[in-house]
Structure 1
Amino acid sequence: MTRPPPDFPMFVSVQEARDMLAALLPDPGQEDVPLSQARGRTLAAPLAARVSHPSATESALDGIAAREGDTLGAGPDTPVRLRIVGESRAGVPFTGTVGPGQCVLIYTGAPLPPGTDAITPVERLTQDGRLHVLLTRPASPGDVRREGEDFRAGEQVLEAGAVLTPPRVALAAALGHARVPVRRRLRVALLSTGDEVIEPGEALSPGQVYDSNRYGLAAMLEECGCDVLPLGHAPDRPEALREVIAGAGGADVLLTSGGVSMGRYDFMRDLLIDHGRVAFWKVRMRPGGPALLGGWNGLPVFGLPGNPVSSLVVFHVIVRPALTGHPLQTLRLRAGTAFRTLPDKTAFWRATLRDGQVHDYPRQSSGVLRSLSDTGALVIVPEGVRVEAGDEVEVVLL
């Protein structure tokens, strides 16, 4: 059957595909969550410090706090003798004032007593009776942490859009926040298609494959901080696709794999073209060119190719940035080998990392799924650009 000319864009660029998908996604809104549930979430608003850190000028070491001027001549052969007048520890500071020739035993994180401005570590001290110590090194102001040295009360420390990694969760706690505002998780319905696709663990017949896409994509969605609505698998029948898609109610977007290429049985493509809406079909990239973006009864639909490598690569370079709101993270590295150029497509070649360089992986077929496990990077080769060994290239780390 011959189709009329399409009324939607064909062969869009990778960036256009990202932008068009992001434009169809709903605003997720925000919610407040306790810090114990914040890891991996994205801040919806900036966080300011409610306290200063450190909250007081304190010691960075165990040792003694003293006046630097009283200790300037201290050395292995010329020890300086100071009188101990008390101690300061975290939570129980010394409440008096330290005078000339005096010191206070101090422990890491303890407030610096009034009258002192420097620390000598315990390794450079010798006890001289019960009330005195001998210093074999001058006390150092460099071993003092100044009040507010890390951040001051009222200072904006974490920006909106920051992903709450474990260090940032710890930082949010130090800022004084028990709860944080985060972007609501997008709800993504996930569907795999194809008569040849069966559940892992079942007996394979000739021509069948295990459903690796569904499990790989679900893991990637969870890694993006999305809530996954699993729709399972649909065979290559239009009525079956309609029935399964009807179960995507409540989702923000539907993500499918398979059924969007040029074949006679690519019914996901036909369903959207004939009865839904298509924003674009095909992206100028390899692997992953047949990707399709559209809508079904008001629900945004992104159709990934069925080949496993294509599906996962398209997700990584197009879908992930749109879902998370964060641009694709790349770096510049030296090419250890040449990488093939394509005249009309951006290539994302799998590559291995070795000795600070990237090397071409010998098996670039979109059916070689182990290549994404064996390699650590994708080398981006723009349309028509030649890459020789020794050239600097843009790299996506996997």
Structure 2
Amino acid sequence: MRQNLSVEEALEAILEGARPIAELEPLPLAQAYGRTLGAELSARVSHPAADDTAVDGYACREADTRGASPENPVRLRVVGLAPAGQPFSQEVGPGQAVQVFTGAPIPLGADAVVRVEDTRREGEFVWLLRPASPADIRRRGEDLVEGQTYLHKGDLLTPARVGLAAAMGHPVLPVVRRPRVGLLTTGDEVVEPGEPLPYGGVYNANSYTVAGLVEEAGGEPVFLGKAPDSPEELRTHLAQTQGLDLLVTTGGVSMGERDVVRKLLEAEGQIHFWRVRIQPGGPLLWATWNGLPLLGLPGNPVSAMVSFLLFGRPLLFRLLGRSDPPYQQLRAVAETRFEANPARRAYRRGILRWAGGYRVASTGSQSSVVLRSMAVGNALVVVEAGKPVRAGEEVEVIPLPGGKTAG
């Protein structure tokens, strides 16, 4: 069993054997937001399908309008009307114009458009106060060309990408099946919210914070309840993990005699590594139980969240085949001091804001039991071992998924 790995070594070990899920499922457009595209997607149509007008106005021949001005307007005869979806079927001849609305195909014979605000209508004639312009024509295929690929396997389906798929003519999208992630909390002291809290007890926050992180990263959380600090009880819960892609436990992975997750896995599973040189989250465990990958998170709430963000989130991205990185990394100027751990890389909680550049301040107490710091903060500040960050210095920052940057 490997121990005391660096962040990079631990992440490499976790991702090493992870293979993207091959199973795809078809979803209607309205249900595809936030899912991962499972195949290349090409346009079934060109868009625009024909040269069309980008403005409301009159389509005509540019040569007929040269020199038009308010002082010397040009008069054209209006021979038709072309709303979007109802193209003008005849040809525009010399001295003629067709009234067009945004999105309408340019009639045959016309090669320019004059905007309606630059005209004055008088019955069957229109006076042009400036020349018509070809620049207000959107050319066929300017947005999409039939047969060309615009969305790719591994793309996160954002609202804009779902809209693009719709414009390409796809009513149903092939998406990657969401990884099923079992969530098992351990510890005699853990009590469900709403139940009476005994002396020394804590409410179960980990199941709900980690479930939210799993869902936000594209996984499907599966609640497996709570296992007391008993090998027999833990074994019973672990028997209920069929059909999962990943099992995430919280608690029971540290060095105490009652840390039953680690002890049971040592005896009956396979531990790939234990402990990482980070703070918080040092007692992280990566193992296999009956062929199922198991990520053992520490029990302290902040440690569990930080560990999942650094290791569980990249793993889910790998399982989904996501093409985007699991998190951003940027530089910010520290507005407060961030203390270092002498031997481990520290991930401090910060409040990131934009003020002509990124700036970050501490959330206050950095204790791993202060869950408020993750609710108030919107970023992790990376502090290398033995190198405190002073106010005014630049530091690496990881924005928290879903967090809003103050400005």
User: How far apart are 1:137 and its partner, in Å?
Assistant: 3.0
Three-state SS of the structure 1 residue aligned to 2:350 is strand
Mapped partners of 1:306, 1:51: distance in 2:
53
Mapped partners of 1:74, 1:380: distance in 2:
64
Alpha-carbon contact 1:43-1:164 (below 8 Å) kept: yes
Three-state SS of the structure 1 residue aligned to 2:239 is helix
**1:99-126, Cα deviation, whole Å (9 max, x unpaired):** 2222111111111112222222222222
AA aligned to 1:395 is V
TM-score, normalization by structure 1:
0.92
User: How far apart are 1:352 and its partner, in Å?
Assistant: 0.8
Q: Give the equivalent residue in structure 1 for 2:206.
A: 213
Alpha-carbon contact 1:200-1:210 (below 8 Å) kept: yes
Q: Give the equivalent residue in structure 2 for 1:190.
A: 183
User: How far apart are 1:24 and its partner, in Å?
Assistant: 4.0
1:44 aligns with 2:38: yes
Residues 169-178 or 303-312, more deviating? 169-178
Alpha-carbon contact 2:334-2:394 (below 8 Å) kept: no
Residues 337-346 or 205-214, more deviating? 337-346
Q: How does 1:138-157 map to 2 (within 5 A)?
A: 138-157=131-150
Question: How many residues are aligned here?
Answer: 390
Q: Give the equivalent residue in structure 1 for 2:95.
A: 101
Alignment RMSD (CA, Å) = 1.8
Q: Give the equivalent residue in structure 1 for 2:398.
A: 396
Equivalent of 2:363, from 354, 361, 364? Answer: 361
Alpha-carbon contact 1:84-1:132 (below 8 Å) kept: yes
Q: Give the equivalent residue in structure 2 for 1:347.
A: 346
Name the CA shift for 1:302/1:224 in 2 (closer, same or farther; >3 Å).
same
AA aligned to 2:352 is L
Q: Give the equivalent residue in structure 2 for 1:224.
A: 217
User: How far apart are 1:395 and its partner, in Å?
Assistant: 2.1
Q: Give the equivalent residue in structure 2 for 1:180.
A: 173
Three-state SS of the structure 1 residue aligned to 2:240 is helix
Mapped partners of 2:94, 2:45: distance in 1:
33
Mapped partners of 2:188, 2:100: distance in 1:
72
Any stretches of 5+ residues in structure 1 without a counterpart?
Answer: 1-7
Any stretches of 5+ residues in structure 2 without a counterpart?
Answer: 319-323, 401-407
Q: How does 1:287-298 map to 2 (within 5 A)?
A: 287-298=280-291
Equivalent of 1:286, from 269, 279, 290? Answer: 279
Name the CA shift for 1:144/1:382 in 2 (closer, same or farther; >3 Å).
farther
1:254 aligns with 2:247: yes
Three-state SS of the structure 2 residue aligned to 1:56 is coil
AA aligned to 1:332 is L
Mapped partners of 1:75, 1:334: distance in 2:
54
User: How far apart are 1:339 and its partner, in Å?
Assistant: 2.7
Residues 224-233 or 103-112, more deviating? 224-233
Alpha-carbon contact 1:52-1:147 (below 8 Å) kept: yes
Alpha-carbon contact 1:98-1:113 (below 8 Å) kept: yes
User: How far apart are 1:30 and its partner, in Å?
Assistant: 2.8
Mapped partners of 1:256, 1:214: distance in 2:
9
1:330 aligns with 2:328: yes
Mapped partners of 1:279, 1:23: distance in 2:
11
TM-score, normalization by structure 2:
0.91
Name the CA shift for 1:212/1:380 in 2 (closer, same or farther; >3 Å).
same
Mapped partners of 2:4, 2:50: distance in 1:
60
Name the CA shift for 1:96/1:226 in 2 (closer, same or farther; >3 Å).
same
Alpha-carbon contact 1:335-1:388 (below 8 Å) kept: no
User: How far apart are 1:172 and its partner, in Å?
Assistant: 1.1
Mapped partners of 1:382, 1:85: distance in 2:
74
Equivalent of 2:127, from 126, 134, 144? Answer: 134
Q: Give the equivalent residue in structure 1 for 2:374.
A: 372
Three-state SS of the structure 2 residue aligned to 1:248 is coil
Residue identity over aligned pairs, in percent, reads 49
Q: Give the equivalent residue in structure 1 for 2:54.
A: 60
Q: Give the equivalent residue in structure 2 for 1:121.
A: 115
Alpha-carbon contact 2:334-2:389 (below 8 Å) kept: no
Mapped partners of 2:99, 2:108: distance in 1:
13
